């Protein structure tokens, strides 16, 4: 038998054995497992179903979709919780992807697991290959779910667009509706992105002040670098600056009289919430400020 004929015969014999019932079953199971593993490479696996699971579903302008999850659980910690789906992923740079840009070793995750007892917090959402207009969807009824020991009274998405293009720099209120459109926009004539986008929540209702006071509050320049000037009505004597990303108070000053000049050289370059309070009436004015 010539070598070529022998190879053909050997290959035929091998395939005949492979296609026997026993081998077909093995081949089929192995193939299915491989396909499932490949398909779930970027899917979220919850080894433990969390106590509460909220999602933000993003749809790109070209129809590509991706989702991130915020979960609460009594077993969650402030470290990665792999059982709750909070584990490192490697984003696919060829596709539209959304993920949490974590401070935990700069790892990216599709899930943010948070201790249910912590009634407030924030996280930055980033993306790859994003284009606009983009649609973001969620289920607002989850904020009053019986799975929670309290109601989430404030839930917001904020970014550069909301700061510069929405009235008063107001973020998107996730309790008002179940979706929002992120339009194309520019800053200084250049195309801009909606990411990194901040997700923020707590159990405190949004506060406001009567319109009569709004014109009396001035904070400038916007954005600011190292110094911030504030003017406010008599009686508003306390100033707080809070990080919009983690809710931490990074600056506080009391006993001010109709304003103050603040030196803020030690603050990081990010977005903050300025809170000015009347200590007698507990009435507060809020405004977003940016340090560059």
The predicted structure's pLDDT at residue 212: 41
Give the neighbor-by-neighbor strand order of the sheet with 218-220.
218-220, 227-231, 259-263
Are the C-beta atoms of 270 and 291 separated by less than 8 Å?
yes
Q: What is the pLDDT of residues 168-189, one digit of tens each?
A: 567 899 999 999 999 998 877 7
- Give pLDDT, residue 102: 66
Q: Which listed CATH number (2.40.30.10, 3.30.870.10, 2.60.40.3080, 3.40.50.150) goes with 211-290?
A: 2.60.40.3080
**Domain locations in the chain as residue ranges:** 52-202, 211-290
Average pLDDT over residues 224-252: 86
How confident is the prediction for the chain on average, in pLDDT?
79
Separation between Cα atoms, residue 197 and residue 123, nearest integer Å: 8
- 127 DSSP β-pair partners: 98
Interval 20-27 mean pLDDT = 42
Whether the per-residue pLDDT at 11 is higher than 60: the answer is: no
CA nearest 259: which of 271, 273, 276, 243? 276
Pick 168 or 158 by higher pLDDT.
Answer: 158
Q: What is the pLDDT of residues 106-147, one digit of tens each?
A: 578 999 998 877 777 888 899 999 999 999 999 999 999 999
**Between 25 and 274, where is the model more confident?**
274
pLDDT digits (tens, 9 = 90+) for 82-109: 999 999 888 888 999 999 976 544 578 9
Mean pLDDT of 249-270: 91
Residue 31 has pLDDT above 60, yes or no: no
Question: Considering the chain, what percentage of its residues have pLDDT values greater than 90?
Answer: 38
pLDDT of residue 97: 94
> 289 or 203: which carries more pLDDT confidence?
289
Sheet containing strand 108-109, edge to edge, reads 108-109, 97-101, 120-128, 197-202, 154-158, 172-173
For residue 14, pLDDT beyond 90: no
Q: Tell me the mean pLDDT in the region 40-63.
A: 87
Kindly indicate the confidence band of residue 42, based on its pLDDT and cuts at 50, 70 and 90.
low
Instruction: Name the pTM for this structure.
Output: 0.61
């Amino acid at each position: 038998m010539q070598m070529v004929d022998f190879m053909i015969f050997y290959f035929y014999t091998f395939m005949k054995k492979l296609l026997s019932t026993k081998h077909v079953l093995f081949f089929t199971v192995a193939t299915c497992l491989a396909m499932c593993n490949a398909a779930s490479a970027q899917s979220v696996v919850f080894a433990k179903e969390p106590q509460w699971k909220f999602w933000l579903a993003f749809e790109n302008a070209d129809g590509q979709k991706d989702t991130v999850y915020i979960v609460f659980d009594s077993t969650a910690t402030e470290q990665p919780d792999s059982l709750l789906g909070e584990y490192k992923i490697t984003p696919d740079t060829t596709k539209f992807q959304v993920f949490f840009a974590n401070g935990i070793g700069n790892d990216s995750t599709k899930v943010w697991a948070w201790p249910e007892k912590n009634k407030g917090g924030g996280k930055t959402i980033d993306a790859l290959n994003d284009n606009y207009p983009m649609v973001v969807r969620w289920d607002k009824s989850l904020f009053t779910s019986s799975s929670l020991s309290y109601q989430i009274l404030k839930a917001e998405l904020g970014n550069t667009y909301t700061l510069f293009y929405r009235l008063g720099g107001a973020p998107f209120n996730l309790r008002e509706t179940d979706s929002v459109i992120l339009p194309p926009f520019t800053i200084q004539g250049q195309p801009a992105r909606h990411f990194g986008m901040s997700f923020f929540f707590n159990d405190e209702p949004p506060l406001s002040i009567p319109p009569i006071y709004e014109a009396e509050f001035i904070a400038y320049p916007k954005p600011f670098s190292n110094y911030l000037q504030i003017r406010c009505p008599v009686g508003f004597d306390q100033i707080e600056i809070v990080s919009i990303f983690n809710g931490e108070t990074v600056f506080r000053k009391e006993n001010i009289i109709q304003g103050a000049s603040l030196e803020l050289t030690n603050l990081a370059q990010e977005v903050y919430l300025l809170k000015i309070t009347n200590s007698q009436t507990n009435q507060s004015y809020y405004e977003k400020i940016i340090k560059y």
